Amino acid sequence: GGEADLLELGADALRAAAGELPQLAEALDRFTRERLLKNLLATSPLFRPFSAQQRVDLARRFTGHDVAPGTELIREGDPGRGLYIVLSGEVEVCKGEEPFEQTLATLRTGDVFGEISLIRHTPATATVRAGRPTIVLFLAREFFERLLAALPEMRAFFETLTEERLRDAEIVNEDLLTEDDERVLI
């Protein structure tokens, strides 16, 4: 193999350099996102039915959004706006109102959400909010619906995912009910 000069920069040094050079911060940010996106396109079951070129075309339909911790992306009871994919960070899936809110799941890189209301044409079954700084990809409802109409295997993927999630949510709710019942008995 050939020789290579390696330049190692710690996080602090990178931040300092980026502070002086906004273009560097932007380039690093773009590079990181592109790498995350490439990994996602290669590994997510969502993109499996597509050729490499179709994956890139599909990825272009998504918009990227930086989300601050605590931001609600979906609110229980609202109509579905589109499909989301966690690119980095994590989101919490919660049901019910405070102080009785229950966390159903934590979703991380590669996980999709928002599909249940789109598939079933019903209001959102849970609230989804960022647990820490998160980047999500968003695909508007109209494009999602066109995709499902064109690709039966994609519809099957989302219908299966929807059934699994609703079943899991029911099991969580049953567990919560039995816990509450025991508390009442004590």
pLDDT digits (tens, 9 = 90+) for 131-145: 999 999 999 999 999
Crossing angle of the two packed helices 152-185 and 141-150, in degrees rounded to 10: 120
Crossing angle of the two packed helices 22-43 and 52-61, in degrees rounded to 10: 130
Query: pLDDT exceeding 90 applies to what percent of the chain?
Result: 35
pLDDT at 113: 94
pLDDT at 129: 96
Query: pLDDT exceeding 70 applies to what percent of the chain?
Result: 80
Cβ proximity of 91 and 130 under 8 Å = yes
pLDDT at 184: 46
Mean local confidence (pLDDT), 143-150: 89
Has residue 185 got a pLDDT over 60? no
pLDDT band at 24 (very low <50, low <70, confident <90, very high): low
Q: CA triplet 14, 9, 15: central angle to 5 degrees?
A: 10
pLDDT at 8: 65
pLDDT at 186: 42
Q: Where does residue 114 rank: exposed (0-12), middle (13-18), buried (19+ CB within 10 A)? A: buried
Distance CA 80, CA 75 (A): 9
pLDDT digits (tens, 9 = 90+) for 76-87: 999 999 999 998
pLDDT at 30: 74
| Structure-model confidence comparison of residues 90 and 8, the more confident one | 90
Average pLDDT, the chain: 82
